[in-house]
Each structure stands twice: as C-alpha cells, then as structure tokens.
Structure 1
Amino acid sequence: MESFIYQMTFIVTFVSISILAIRKSMQVASTDDFAVAGRTLNAPGVSWIIIGTLVGGVSTIGTVQTAYTHGISAAIFTFGSGVSCFLLGCFFAKALREEGVVTVSEYLGKFFGRNFRYYSSAINSLGMFIHVVGQFLASIAILQAVFALGDTLSVLLTMLLIGIFVISGGIAGAGLIGKIKFFMLYLIMIISAGVALYNGGGLPKILSQLPQDIDMLGFADYGIKTATVDMFSMIVGVLSTQIYLQAIFSARNIREARNGAFLSAVIIPPIGVFGIVVGLYLRANHPEISANPAQALPYFLHQCFPPVIAALFSAGILLVVLGTGAGLVLGVTTNLFHDFLQGRAGMLQRIRPIRLIRMSTCAVLVLASMLVFTGLDSTILKWSYMSMGLRGSTVFAGLFIVIFFKRFAESKVLLMLLYCLPILYVLLNI
C-alpha cells in the first residue's frame, strides 16, 4: 500500500508539472519563437533558461553520488557553474547579444569563415549530445528507484518525456521549466540537507564518521590534477555551450542578458553545498549504497521522508533532470537546424521550418537513447566533464579571441590551431 501511494503521488505530481510546460506549445509559432523566444526575455527569464538547463541530474543526483564516493570534490560542477555564469555576465554577454545571432557557431563563422562555423557547430553539438547521456543516467536512477523498471523501459520513457518538453515549448518551455525547477530544487535540497544534518547528529558528527582511509574533505583521492582539469573544463564548457549562450541571445537587451547571467551565478553554487551534505551523511551512515552510488539521492528520499513527501521530491528531481536534458537537446537541435538544415535546397524545402526543427529533435533523442546503452554503469559526472571539455576546446578559444583580441581573428595560423584543439583534447583523454 505504501509503495502504491508513493508511485501514485509521484505520477500525479510529475504529470501536473508537465502540463504547465506543455501549455507553452501554444505560444510557439515560428523557429524564432522556438529558438530565442522572439528575443523578449528579461533577466529572470534568461536566468530560468540557464538554471533550467545547467542545473540538472549532475547538480543533484551526480553531486550526491560524487560526494558519497569522493567528498567535497563534488562541488566542482556547481561552483564552476557559478564562476562560468559570472564570467559570462562580465565579459561575454554584451558581445554575444549585440550580434543578433541564433547560434554561437554562427557568431564565430562571421570571423573565422563558414567552414569553421560548420566545424564548431558539429563538435559543440557532439559535446552537448554526450552531456545528454548524463541526464539519461540520472533519470534512469530515479525511475528505477520509484518503479523498479528495467534499463530498456527506463531509457525509452526518459526519451519520451524529454521529447515532450523540447518539442512542445522550445526555449520558452525551457524557461518555464527552469522557473519551476528553481523553486522545487531549492525546497528539496534545503530540506534534504536539513534532514541529513538532523539525522546525522550535526555536521561535526557526520564528518567524524567518514572513512579515514579516504580524503573526503580534500582532493587527494579524487586527484588534484583531475580536479583542476574538471574545473577548467567546467568553466570553458559553460562559456562554449549553445543552450547557455542561447539564453543570452534570447534576452531583450544587453542589460537583461548580463543580469540574467549574474543571477544564475548567485543561485547555482549553494545547490551543490546541499547535495554534498546529503552525500557525506549517506557515506557516514549508509555504507550499503556503495554498490550503486548513483542511487544515493533517490535512496535518501525514500528512506528519510514519508511516502507522499518522498514521491513529491522524487518527481521534482526527475523534472530537474529532464529539464536539463531537454535544454541540451534543444541546443543540439538549434545548431543542427540553423547551421545545417535551414535554407537547404531539395526535399527539405517542402517541410515547414517549425516541423523540421521538431523532426530534428526526435532524431537527436533517438540517437542519444542508443548511446546511453553503451554507458549505463558510468558515473554521471564523468560524462558531464568529458562533454564540457569537448565543447570548450571547440568554441571557447575562438570566442575568447573574437571578444578580447579581434585583430588576430584573420590569422591563418590561429585558425589552424582552432581546428586542432578539439582533436588534441580527444587524444589527451583517450
């Protein structure tokens, strides 16, 4: 009976929230509405999109998982996210917004040529595509914890739910999901951290019960070099990712774009702190999770809250995960449509643009679900850092040159270096 109440509460909560997002589909009439919301967003609207995509399974399930296995090194993702958003507002928002482009590759193509636009768009899309895998893994962890589903059904259901969010509302739907996610996520993580501290007898007692053979409060076991590379990858990855910059492109003006980035920089890092508290509590008191640490947060919710509350929170976490996956898929689709498909001659001209972009979304989702089956046992953060590094090596250097050293943009040597950076990154990480 308790399991039935839990599952029904989960379903009702999630369906109710999803209906709010789907209603946004009524406002999407063109590809401009779909991709940049008609460039009408204020600062909170910009922030909702960034938060709605950047804060997802990695910031919640992935952070608790890594805190359980490696301690405070789990803060790298959310702290790096905050730093990235701050830098985005300080140095990049003005230049990006005033160009009036839709994709960051389109922006780079104005300075480095059409071929580099296609090259950077393809690899940037691949990076986002890889990040989608992390969201699939987080979603699978929740669905299996709540319904005990198998891998195949969990993947297919995740694909369907992400598809509904993306296809229905585009960037406007991502913004609405981000707004709902913000309030739900803070509520869930603050209460969870509070319960963890209460059940654990306070932070000092939790810390005293951590394994002594592992450096949970430092980076020795995680690796100083690994932590440094992950932080760098995180920062340049955010500053190079289509969907985060797409929020800037969607702003009403430069001021709203900047303020939206600054608001995100303030909001995101505390979420990681709350997740670390939960992860450390679980490591100190529940060693049985070590067999499957990806289930750490769902396990905590199920064990520490009444069924109705646990189901409500689990549904909220699933929304967080799917919202991020939807935003990343939207970024890939925007690149695919605007950089490769739009304006092409032949059979594609017979398809309405808004229908074509939605068809592209379906294709991306199917391919992503196929890739997920190759890494069902992977650490969620592993996929995210790999993704960030790939995106950063492709876009960040060119973006940095254009914004700070534009006079060098015509250098052939520099252009060749920009082509080589992604290849070098892949070779160094094989």
Structure 2
Amino acid sequence: GILFSAVASCLPAIYIIAAIFGIPFLPATVLLILTVAAYAFFGGMKSAGVGGILKMIVILSTMAIAGVMAAHLLFADPAVAAALPEGAFSLLHGDMSHILANFSSVVIGMLCTQSYIQAIFSASNPRTASVAAFTAALISLPVGLPCAMVGIYMGAAHPEITPILSLPTYLLTEQPSLLGGIAMGGIMLSLIGSIAGLSLGIGTMLSRDIFHRARVTLRARKIHKLAEDPASQAIDITEIPTVNHPYHLSELAVTRLIVLLTITLAAFIALANEGSQVLFWNFLSMALRSGGIFLPLSFAIFAPGTITAMSATLSMALSTVAALIAVFLGAAGNPLFFGLAVSALCLIPCWLRHR
C-alpha cells in the first residue's frame, strides 16, 4: 500500500521533470530516482522534517497567491465562467457513497501508515510532535483550496491540457516567472520528500522487522548450539558475530538498499502506467493499508491478547488479496470495504472465543 502511494507521487514528478527539461519520460524517471535517493540517503527523516518545513512555507505562500489570481481570472472572463461544469464548486458533487468511501480510505489509511508514525516518533519530544501534527492538519485547507481553484480554472480555460500538468502549466504560463518558479520548486521538493519519506518507511519496516529479527534469531541459534557442545564451553558467546558470513551487511546498509529498490520500483511502476490518475493510486494504497492493518492494529491497541498471531497474519494476508481482487476485477464498491470485511471474518471469531 505504501509503495502505491509512492507511485502516486512519482507520476506527477516524472511529468514535471519531462516537461521542464524537454526530455522523454525514461530519462526523467532516472533523474527522479537519483534525486530522491540523494535526498533520502544524505538526510533521512531529518531531511524530510526540515524539507517539510521549507516546502510548507513556500507552498503555503505561493499557492495562496496563485489561488486568488485563479479565482480572479475565473470570474473576470465570462467565457471561462460559462465553461464551468455544473457543481464545479461543490465539495459533495457526485456520488455521495463514492465520496464517503474515499474519505474513509484516506482517514483510516493514514492511521495505519508507517511514514506518519515514523514522523511522530522522530520528533525531538512529544510537544514538538503534537504541534507539528496539528500544524500539518491546519495548512491542508489553505493549500488544498487554492490548488482546487487552479484546477477548476484550468479545466474551464484550457481543457486540452492533461490534468496532471494543469498546476505546473498554470504556474509557468499564467503566473509571474518569480512566483511560478518558487512555487514549482516547492512542489518538486514536496514530491521528492514524499517519495523519500514513504520509501524510508518501507525500508525501516523491512530492515528492522524482518532483516534485524532474522539476524537475532540466527545469533540465538548459534549460541544455543555452542552451549550444547561441551568442547565450546571456553568460548565467550558475547564475541559471536550476529551473522558469521563474509558478505555480512549492516542494518543501515540493508535499509539503504531497500530504500533504493523501493524508489526505483515505484518510479518504474509510475513510468509503466504514465496515463493513469494520481488519485487512483492514492485511494488504492490507502484501501490496501486500511484493509490489511486497521482491524489487527485496533485489536492490538484496544483489546491486547484477544486475537492470535495466526488470525492476525491470516487477516492481513487475505484482506489484502481481497482488496486487490476487488480492484483488478472491477468489483462495484471501494476495495477498502472488501478488505475490512475479510479482515473482520478472520478476527472477530477469535475475539469472541477469547471472550
């Protein structure tokens, strides 16, 4: 699920790099991979945090101006205003069940995402984490509404432009060069930071929860084997290496390797699906995370010890498969609810038996 969220950020980044430098998508993809890898490797979560503050200031100020100017252009030109579709300014226009399902996917998905938890845990103290979380929530509307206004204007005034390039085109053609350039820099920093942060989340989970645990298990087995051998009683077991292998990799090296592979995989998935919509990948990633993690995580926090490891594992595996099948078979309804239903079928009987 987190990988697909990185794909959602790679898509516009590839388009923007290709458009600005006038290069094909493949070289743009390679350039994106190198940039994100440098951003992640040389700064880690610290660069994501400092970069987040910088991009917040840049995007908040530039997009507020751009949104006001887009609103002015929208109502100043009668021809553009007449081209607006019905319900263009309604947040609830369209299929209400679809809107609520997507809303649920985003909210529940954010609760189950490593990257957001990792950002909280990386704060210097709990107060800093709390202030940062509320600040991030408060700036969403002042940034989101101007972007929506720009999208509405570009859809009416320039319907021939690919939707994914509406905002960059508006900033580079309809705005003063200085304002548009600063805003584009903020957007690219935001995309690069997003991909790096998501990849760091995947790298941390796989290296610490799988690689590190495997190393500890191997070391414990080696110590146990030596302890049972009378000839090895004189050996100091504390000097036994974690993995006795000539090609031993440190946890940091494994994390970096996984992060690099994640960045590369996400970028090439985006390249292979260059015509797809960003929101498709966003909602799919949220649905996969929510369906697989939300109920096991909730039971672990609010009712610890009431479900077994086997039921939790089955819940995560089967709910993810159910959500993917629902997506690729085109089933009616949001994949989130298919995943949650299968997850509940695996966990609730176990919880009831425990009670």
Question: Could you say which TM-score interval applies, normalised by the shorter chain?
Answer: 0.7 to 0.9
Q: In structure 1, what is the equivalent of residue 194 of structure 2? A: 324
Q: In structure 1, what is the equivalent of residue 209 of structure 2? A: 339
**Cα shift readout 1:307-338 (whole Å, capped 9, x = no counterpart):** 34322322221111111111111111111211
Q: Which secondary structure state, in structure 2, belongs to the residue aligned with residue 314 of structure 1?
A: helix
Which amino acid in structure 2 is aligned with residue 273 of structure 1? L
| TM-score, normalised via structure 2 length | 0.76
Q: In structure 2, what is the equivalent of residue 233 of structure 1? A: 105
> What is the RMSD of the two structures over their aligned residues, measured on CA atoms?
2.6
> Are residues 402 and 197 of structure 1, via their aligned partners in 2, closer, same or farther at CA, if it must alter by over 3 Å?
same
1:294 paired with 2:164, answer: yes
Q: In structure 1, what is the equivalent of residue 31 of structure 2? A: 157
Q: Is the 8 A contact 1:206 1:280 kept in 2?
A: no
Shift of 1:399: 1.8
Q: Is the 8 A contact 1:197 1:203 kept in 2?
A: no
Give, in whole Å, the separation in 1 of the partners of 2:7 and 2:279.
Answer: 10
Which amino acid in structure 2 is aligned with residue 337 of structure 1? S
Q: In structure 2, what is the equivalent of residue 130 of structure 1? A: 4
Q: Is the 8 A contact 2:40 2:197 kept in 1?
A: yes
Give, in whole Å, the separation in 2 of the partners of 1:247 and 1:232.
Answer: 22
Larger Rg: 2
1:272 paired with 2:170, answer: no
Identity of aligned residues (%): 27
Structure with larger RCO (C-alpha < 8 A, sep 6+): 1
- Structure 2, unpaired ranges of 5+: 216-242, 329-355
Q: In structure 1, what is the equivalent of residue 133 of structure 2? A: 261
**Cα shift readout 1:252-287 (whole Å, capped 9, x = no counterpart):** 444443343222222223311111111111122222
> Are residues 252 and 308 of structure 1, via their aligned partners in 2, closer, same or farther at CA, if it must alter by over 3 Å?
closer
Q: Which secondary structure state, in structure 1, belongs to the residue aligned with residue 85 of structure 2?
A: coil
Q: Which secondary structure state, in structure 2, belongs to the residue aligned with residue 408 of structure 1?
A: coil
**Cα shift readout 1:43-90 (whole Å, capped 9, x = no counterpart):** xxxxxxxxxxxxxxxxxxxxxxxxxxxxxxxxxxxxxxxxxxxxxxxx
Give, in whole Å, the separation in 1 of the partners of 2:252 and 2:306.
Answer: 38
**Cα shift readout 1:322-362 (whole Å, capped 9, x = no counterpart):** 11111111111111211122252354873333333222222
> Are residues 131 and 418 of structure 1, via their aligned partners in 2, closer, same or farther at CA, if it must alter by over 3 Å?
closer
- Structure 1, unpaired ranges of 5+: 1-126
Which amino acid in structure 1 is aligned with residue 179 of structure 2? I
| TM-score, normalised via structure 1 length | 0.64
Give, in whole Å, the separation in 2 of the partners of 1:358 and 1:405.
Answer: 35
Which amino acid in structure 2 is aligned with residue 391 of structure 1? R
Q: Which of these residues, 291, 294, 299, is aligned with residue 401 of structure 1?
A: 299
Give, in whole Å, the separation in 2 of the partners of 1:371 and 1:307.
Answer: 33
Q: How does 1:92-131 map to 2 (within 5 A)?
A: 127-131=1-5
Give, in whole Å, the separation in 1 of the partners of 2:144 and 2:246.
Answer: 44
Give, in whole Å, the separation in 1 of the partners of 2:78 and 2:63.
Answer: 20
Q: Which of these residues, 277, 282, 294, is aligned with residue 379 of structure 1?
A: 277
Please say which of residues 259-268 and 380-389 is displaced more in the overlay. Answer: 259-268
Q: In structure 1, what is the equivalent of residue 338 of structure 2? A: none
Question: Number of residue pairs matched?
Answer: 300
Q: Which secondary structure state, in structure 2, belongs to the residue aligned with residue 288 of structure 1?
A: coil
Q: Is the 8 A contact 2:64 2:142 kept in 1?
A: no
